[in-house]
């Protein structure tokens, strides 16, 4: 199965994430590398690259970049996506994460669970947007999209 085996994040010049968001990022990277599904379709009559893939996520010229290569470093494809479609989901995700991190400190489990359910819903929405934006460029399952959305959040220039 085609998959990502290496992930690099170019975040130079980005906002420094809070310790909680940095932890979310580390978990997303770990989980992504443990289990993911990421395929690049064939183009213009060429067969689909087999993978596994090395993926670099970056912000270049104000756009989100998915730079993919083979395991040995040969360039496969590079996708540039606008941050626009992600802005509301990212904003909502950061707000609900802040609420969740505060709730964990002082609220009873039932209220924490309700906030966590809302957080998962927003996360799923962001993952769905990512899958739509990558349609025809890369195929990924919902779990891979969720983990990548967490990383998109960290890279989004306006929070």
Whether the model pTM is above 0.75:
yes
Least confident interval from 11-15, 23-27, 82-86, 115-119: 11-15
72: Cβ contacts below 8 Å, ≥ 6 apart: none
141/130 Cα distance (integer angstroms): 11
Burial of residue 122, with CB atoms counted within 10 A of its CB: 0-12 exposed, 13-18 middle, 19 or more buried: buried
69/54 Cα distance (integer angstroms): 5
Q: Is the peptide bond before 52 cis (omega within 30 degrees of 0)?
A: yes
Could you give the number of structural domains in the chain? 1
Residue range 128-148: average pLDDT? 95
Which of 76, 56, 74, 52 lies closest to 65 in space, CA to CA? 56
What pLDDT is stored for residue 137 in this prediction? Answer: 94
Confidence of residue 1 (pLDDT cuts 50, 70, 90): low
Domain that holds residue 40: 4-155
Q: What pLDDT, in 10s, does the model give residues 21-68?
A: 888 889 999 999 999 999 999 887 788 888 899 999 999 888 999 999
């Amino acid at each position: 199965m085609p998959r990502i085996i290496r992930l690099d994040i170019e975040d130079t010049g980005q906002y420094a994430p809070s310790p909680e968001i940095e932890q979310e990022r580390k978990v997303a990277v770990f989980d992504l590398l443990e289990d993911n599904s990421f395929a690049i379709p064939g183009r213009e009559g060429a067969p689909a690259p087999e993978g596994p893939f090395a993926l670099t996520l970056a912000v270049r010229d104000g756009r989100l970049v998915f730079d993919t290569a083979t395991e040995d470093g040969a360039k496969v494809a590079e996708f540039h996506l606008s941050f626009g479609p992600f802005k509301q989901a990212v904003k909502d995700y950061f707000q609900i994460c802040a609420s969740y991190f505060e709730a964990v400190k002082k609220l009873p489990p039932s209220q924490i669970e309700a906030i966590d359910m809302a957080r998962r819903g927003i996360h799923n929405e962001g993952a769905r947007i990512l899958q739509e934006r990558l349609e025809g460029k890369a195929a990924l399952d919902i779990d891979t999209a969720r983990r990548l959305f967490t990383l998109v959040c960290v890279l989004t220039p306006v929070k």
